[in-house]
Amino acid sequence: MQLIADDLSKIYNSHQGDILALDRVSFRTHDSEFVCIVGPSGCGKTTLLKILAGLILPTGGEVRYEGPRSDAPLNAMVFQEDSVFPWMSVLDNVAFPLEIRGMSRPRRHAVAREFVNRVGLGRFVDHYPRQLSTGMRQRVGIARAFACNPQVLLMDEPFGALDPQMKTVLQEELLALWSAHARTIIYVTHDIDEAIFMADRVIVLSGQPGQIMADLPVPFGRPRAPAVRTHTAYLAMRERIWALVRGEVMKVLGGAA
């Protein structure tokens, strides 16, 4: 499935006046591509994902999904903050979107159990979110997104609230899941290292209003060992993206970069 963002703009009307959050953003993904979008806080990353998900409408431009016909849902979104239901067990949380789609209870529980196992929560199927750590709850969100088998997966800083060790482990888990269940992923983060480690391609957004400043292929194959982070090409790419983002942050601070 290919996702096309065609000249997307978004203006929010607030009581402080109009806010231009996104300014003519265009890109096209390839089939099963892992695209990371990085940019400073407030640059419109969440806005862009919500538009791609169809949760809000752009002020200008359009989103298109192009690919073979399928019964699978077009997209699923994993949010930055906890999006699990506190009153449901881990298994029921993961099975919930399948229930909405009318899948029988034994069938949806079988599918949910498979993905709960895949994210390492097999022993916790009957636990409730309050009994889990933040990292485990994010794993539930990821299992749920994969279980509903969307054609495109939209992820908004899903590991943003985790400590660096947990983040690294979940990044590797997500890549393993993605290689077993390939599909297009749009993954938003403000973490440049995370973007380069995970993505086939990194799109860099400017500060508000978000505009595409760079669209860079990541020159590493798969599977990707953690040691790529010490590669010269990795460091050069990190430097290049950081220079762009730093310039944007400095504009906001009103200082010289």
Which region, judged by CB under 6 A, interacts with ligand ADP, from 44-52, 146-154, 219-227, 228-236? 44-52
Q: Which residues pair with 10 in a beta bridge?
A: 22
- 81: Cα within 13 Å, side-chain hemisphere: 2
Number of residues lying near Mg ion (CB under 5 A)? 2
Residue from 1, 8, 9, 47 that binds ligand ADP (CB under 6 A)? 47
Residue from 2, 46, 59, 83 that binds Mg ion (CB under 5 A)? 46
Least Å distance, CB 225 to Mg ion, is 30
- Any idea which residue has 């192009």 for tokens? 66
User: Which partner from the list Mg ion, ligand ADP, none does 138 bind, CB cut-off 5 to 8 Å by kind?
Assistant: none
Rule CB under 6 A: is residue 12 a binding residue for ligand ADP? Answer: yes
In angstroms, rounded to a whole number, what is the distance separating the alpha carbons of residues 101 and 66?
A: 22
Q: E-assigned strands of the chain?
A: 2-14, 17-28, 34-38, 60-66, 75-78, 152-156, 184-189, 201-205, 212-217
Q: Using CB under 6 A, count the residues that bind ligand ADP.
A: 13
* Choices 37-45, 57-65, 87-95, 115-123; region in contact with ligand ADP by CB under 6 A: 37-45
Our finding on whether 252 is near ligand ADP (CB under 6 A) is no
Task: Fill in the amino acid letter for 94.
Answer: V
Taking CB under 6 A as the criterion, the residue among 1, 3, 8, 21 binding ligand ADP is 21
The yes or no reply on residue 43 touching ligand ADP (CB under 6 A) is yes
Cα(173)–Cα(71) distance, rounded to whole angstroms? 27
Distance CA 106, CA 124 (A): 18
Residues 6+ apart with CB under 8 A from 251: 207
Binding site for Mg ion (CB under 5 A): 45-46
- Which residues bind to ligand ADP, rule: CB under 6 A? 12, 14, 19, 21, 39, 41-47, 208
